[in-house]
A = this chain, B = another copy of it.
Amino acid sequence: MKFCSVCGHEVQFVVPPGDNRPRYRCAQCGTIHYQNPTLVLGTIPVWGDRILLCRRAIEPRYGFWTLPAGFMENGETTAEGAQRETLEEAGANIALGEVFSMVDVPHVNQVHVFFRAELLDAHFAPGPDSLEVRLLAEDDIPWDSIAFRTVAQTLRWYFEDRRSGVHVMHTGAIRSASHRSAREA
């Protein structure tokens, strides 16, 4: 950020009075431009014992597999965003369930939230962001080709819980690009 989006003047990166960290602040109109993490919303769409995964048609991670997910938009709820992404990326209609996982990714300023979901029927089709969409059993999950670690972690939690009969909400954090573990809170 170099310029004020309100008045077009240059911004400074300074600690505003009464604050405790530097912000982008306009030297002319005084507007402070806060920058905050974004929410990524997704679902775990289930049909019998299989899970719906999408193969990405866009960067980052073109060609890799993901649960349907994307950035939350202004004006919608988390539930609406998760349903919208599932429809847009996988052409799938779902009954949305509870929050299943919330995974922090602080090095990219994101929080990923995945909801339980049941497909209402077996009709689905790749949207513009997906190369293909498939129902996959646990043994067929392409673990080496999952696009994002939040998705891989969520899938691992899901299958572990299904085996053990546990029903909880999971939280964790992906700490950095090189550190591939997740903390369960």
Contact = CB atoms under 8 A, between A and B. Distances in A.
Interface of A: 1-8, 10-11, 18, 20-21, 24, 33-39, 71-80, 88, 96, 98-99, 102, 104, 106-107, 109, 111, 113, 128, 169, 171, 173, 185
A97 B159 CA distance: 24
Given A73-B36, A111-B78, A8 B6 contact: no
B39 A37 contact: yes
Assembly stoichiometry (copies): 2
Nearest to A35: B74
Contact of A106 (B1, B75, B98, B111): B75
A75 B111 CA distance: 11
Contacts of A88: 20
Contacts of A21: 73
A33 B74 CA distance: 13
Contacts of A109: 74-75
A22 to B, nearest CB: 11
Contacts of A185: 79, 96, 98
